[in-house]
Structure 1
């Protein structure tokens, strides 16, 4: 904690150097960077505006059974507050408690304003400030101001789930549940449950529902790669026993990051070998009556989509128990009491869980204006993966599609602080990304280079990637180096 901190001390203060929207893992990590590394001699004043009553973002919002991280906690955790438990994968509740402890440890908790929902943000070039219309405890009309705005709002819509296009779903007389809005009083004991989907949420739900349900079926249109992940990192235990706590945390984190990206590039350079290894692993873990093909043979190469982790192979253990099964087929229609598949097979669930993805949204539903003109912030390109074309003094936090989200948040934190320092040292009050002449004919690319259906279908809700300064992030170490020492001039206009 910076002992010279002179930021917000009163809930009545409404004018800041930096405002961060969202108190999830992204917002907390960015707050740490602003809190400890912002321009000297006086650190920037800042606050976090959180629309909900608790910090934690995803990990406080989602309530479905078995909610957990799908990245190991040594890389998903915050680099300045290392994860020190033995478990490699943590539950949602454990992650939320960890984030709360991290915020208290760094003194960030004093700067979080809860029940503050930002409705609109208006940039004034004349005043070089953002003016925010904020709803506080349900009451609109509160005004906040900031020189610089950071969006730690995540990548999905908290208010509305992804619409599920399943023929006849409305005919179903049983219970239909979306994981994003899981009822706390849902009784699935001794019920037959069908989970529609094959992503991380479905892979998490299957073993956890199996414990109490009569039978749980995962119904997937197309398979995904699933790999067991040891629940305990024994080498991390050795590192903690032999090294000081802070150093041990750094060593473990670095080792896990290198291991992950090493595997990623192995899959990219040797896709057929990676396929064979994952195929053989599934063969060993599956019961004899469930074949690898077609249930575990995706059409894409490993790491073209995120690899789903199964802690200690719990997903496969559920299948071996006989209380869970997997079906690869497409839905013809849903009736009052059945799911009829194109193959002619029928499923008769009591409960249908639609784990078919999230509705993507950058910016938390805030309405943006630049000098009085409405702006759709995702219409343009993203500069270095954290600023938006033609939008002044604004950064957004995005993680990696194929790795721990926090790695991307760390890159953004380093880049934002460096940018703020440069602005102060050069006497500028405004910075805005602009396309140069050579960029005008740049071919737009997907910001999240991933082939998941719900991501491809929602490309219009995310900024574009390009080339050069506008290229999407792809390698943590390379991106961190660029954020620390790379070109922070090309593609930017300073005023």
Structure 2
């Protein structure tokens, strides 16, 4: 079908039909639309997005200082050079995504304010039926598609995760979650208490420090952080030499990925040495008298949870200046004026920010059914974290924890386009993955080994996720440096692929 076919509405009473339906217009969905346009020309497709515009995370999150915690040379797409600072604001990232949409004519394919409620597969028709609602008008929408590409991300955008602490209803100030930041919140001259120790807390604290009377970061346990200039030396040098931005982007990406691979390997091979180096870096900023042992020395090895990058050490500079402070303790109860800690200490606050994570959302809160039977996603086994046993004509984008999300979005984009072209060449209308005879006695395990990676949101939602095997092809390895070669080399006629 031609591109014009994607813009044609079906006759009244008929569901529109597309070759591919992409769920979500965030970084993955926009990338997927680009790959379809360039690698599978003539494929009809539509992108359904629940929000009023594109951006995903970078649109829904409005908290102070929101920025990436991955460098944009690798978080950016491989096909479009990133020319700004490596750690970018949400506005800068959305501007970059907007350029991708405009430069590649993707806008006519994207429909905003479309919230999907259900997706049903029919083996008789070899197609998906997607039911959605227009959030701006309330009108129901029904679309059918041959293939479903899930690019909706992995957490619930509507609300963040906030634990239930005793006495929260007693607090006289405001309690806000970064994911639903109120537009009218004025924290000028206010005492702000930020609960959390991850990348969000590390962003919010320095952004509010200085304008607020004081900002306190309250954490139950410390997190590892890396610091550095918000600049990449080799990129600056290449630009000084007048090198074309396409080359700057590719060379810088390769250098960063090479260094990340070495660092990740060291975290597993010599964790104590890496730990000592990171802590010494913080001592150099905070001074020899600061209690690094209590506030910035985690009880786990590096990279067992995500390591946030703090550009220009702004979090620690705020602490060193006295505009912010860190308290490591546990909450006993909220009261009228703040929080009572288990140590007996009391923290006064006018505003409490719960930077405590999010709810894992594995399939976009969409009700899935296969031939009328509800899909028990947690009973499936994943094929490289992209496809799932017993689920036909569907791929899912789930990025990396130890490398930029978009690296995997690009790899999955290549895989989906290659799979679609392979199906067309075979005359196949349906494909799904299935365990092979040699996998008969393979152990079936949780999605990820908690000894390898164990952030709270993943542990809370592990029961919702598919299972993995003990072979690389039956798990999401989180290893970009292996997958960048393994995924393109996938034999699409291997016994794990079943075509009809």
What CA distance in whole angstroms lies between the structure 1 residues aligned with 2:122 and 2:171?
A: 51
Instruction: Answer yes or no: is 1:494 the counterpart of 2:496.
Output: no
Give the Cα–Cα distance (whole angstroms) in 1 for the partners of residues 447 and 189 of structure 2.
43
Between 261-270 and 122-131, the greater mean CA deviation after superposition: 261-270
Q: In 1, distance between residues paired with 2:482 and 2:4?
A: 34
Question: How many Å apart are 1:447 and its aligned residue?
Answer: 3.9
| Mapped partners of 1:473, 1:415: distance in 2 | 16
Query: Which runs of 5 or more residues in structure 1 are unaligned?
Result: none
CA distance in structure 2 between the aligned counterparts of 1:460 and 1:303, rounded to whole angstroms: 23
- The aligned residue for residue 311 of structure 1 is 311
For the pair 1:470 / 2:469, whether they are aligned, the reply is: no
Q: Is the 8 A contact 2:338 2:349 kept in 1?
A: yes
Shift of 1:441: 4.8
CA distance in 1, matches of 2:8, 2:247: 36
Which residue number in structure 2 is paired with residue 444 of structure 1? Answer: 445
Bigger mean CA deviation after superposition, 341-350 or 475-484: 475-484
Which 10-residue stretch deviates more, 448-457 or 392-401? 448-457
- Judged with a 3 Å threshold, the aligned counterparts in structure 2 of structure 1 residues 439 and 325 are, in CA distance, closer, same or farther, namely farther
Is 1:375 the counterpart of 2:380 in the alignment? Answer: no
Per-residue deviation at 1:260?
A: 1.4
Q: CA RMSD in A?
A: 1.7
**Cα gap change, 1:307/1:439 in structure 2, threshold over 3 Å: closer, same or farther?**
farther
Distance 1:148 1:229 in 2: 43
Separation (CA, whole Å) in 1 of partners of 2:228 and 2:107: 33
Per the TM alignment, residue 43 of structure 1 is displaced from its structure 2 partner at its CA by 2.9
Cα gap change, 1:11 to 1:278, in 2 (>3 Å): farther
CA distance, structure 2, for counterparts of residue 442 and residue 160 of structure 1: 35
1: distance between equivalents of 2:446 and 2:374? 24
| Residue deviations 1:63-117 (CA, integer Å, cap 9, x gap) | 00000000011010011111112x1110011111111111111222221111111
Deviation of residue 5 (structure 1)?
Answer: 5.0
Query: Residue 234 of structure 2 aligns with which residue?
Result: 235
Counterparts of 1:176 and 1:11 in 2: how far apart (Å)?
46
Which of structure 1's runs of 4+ aligned residues deviate more than 3 A? 4-7, 10-13
Distance in 2 between residues matched to 1:200 and 1:439, nearest whole Å: 41
Q: Secondary structure at the residue paired with 1:464?
A: coil
Aligned to 2:164: 165
Task: Report the alpha carbon displacement of residue 242 of structure 1 after superposing the two structures with TM.
Answer: 3.7
Matched positions, count: 488
Contact 1:121 1:130 in 2 (8 A): yes
- Distance in 2 (CA, whole Å) between partners of 1:186 and 1:348 is 18
* Counterpart in the other structure of 1:104: 102
Deviations 1:245-279 (A, max 9, x none): 22221111121111212211121111111011011
Task: Give TM-score scaled by structure 1 length.
Answer: 0.95
CA displacement at 1:229 relative to structure 2: 2.7
Q: Whole-Å Cα distance in 2 between the matches of residues 442 and 351 of structure 1?
A: 49
Q: Matches of 2:343 and 2:122 in 1, distance apart?
A: 59
Deviation digits for residues 420-452 of structure 1 (CA, Å, limit 9, x no counterpart): 122111111111122334246523133485211
Q: Who is 2:275 aligned against? A: 275
Structure 2 spans left out of the alignment, 5+ residues: none
Is the Cα–Cα contact under 8 Å of residues 362 and 378 in structure 1 kept in the other structure? no
Q: Does 1:482 align with 2:486?
A: yes
Q: 1:186 — aligned with what?
A: 185
Greater mean deviation of Cα atoms: 373-382 or 150-159: 373-382
Does residue 395 (structure 1) correspond to residue 395 (structure 2)? The answer is: yes
Q: 1:128 matched to which residue of 2?
A: 126
Corresponding residue for residue 343 of structure 2: 343
Post-superposition offset of 1:480? 2.0
2:70 partner SS: coil
After superposition, the Cα gap between the structure-2 partners of 1:22 and 1:11, relative to the gap in structure 1 and judged at 3 Å, is farther
- Greater displacement, 328-337 / 242-251: 242-251
- TM-score w.r.t. length of structure 2: 0.94
The CA distance in 2 between the partners of 1:388 and 1:140, in whole Å, is: 32
1:211 correspondence with 2:210? yes
SS at match of 2:227: strand
Aligned counterparts of 1:78 and 1:373: Cα–Cα separation in 2: 37
Contact preservation (8 Å) 1:210, 1:216 = yes
CA distance in 1, matches of 2:297, 2:392: 46
Q: Structure 1 residue 338: deviation in Å?
A: 2.7
Tell me how far apart the structure 1 counterparts of residues 333 and 167 of structure 2 sit (CA, whole Å): 5
Deviation (angstroms), 1:135: 1.1
Judge conservation of contact 1:155–1:360 (CA < 8 Å) in 2. Answer: yes
- Counterpart-to-counterpart distance in 2, 1:447 and 1:301: 17
What is the CA–CA distance in structure 2 between the aligned matches of 1:447 and 1:103, rounded to whole Å?
Answer: 34
Separation of aligned partners in 1, 2:461 and 2:193: 25
CA distance in 1 between counterparts of 2:146 and 2:51 reads 24
Aligned twin of 1:35: 37
Q: What CA distance in whole angstroms lies between the structure 2 residues aligned with 1:286 and 1:379?
A: 49
* Deviation for aligned residue 1:11: 5.8
Deviation at residue 163 of structure 1 after TM alignment: 3.7
SS in 2 for 1:8: helix
C-alpha separation in 1, matches of 2:133 and 2:34 = 25
Q: 1:58: Cα distance to partner?
A: 0.5
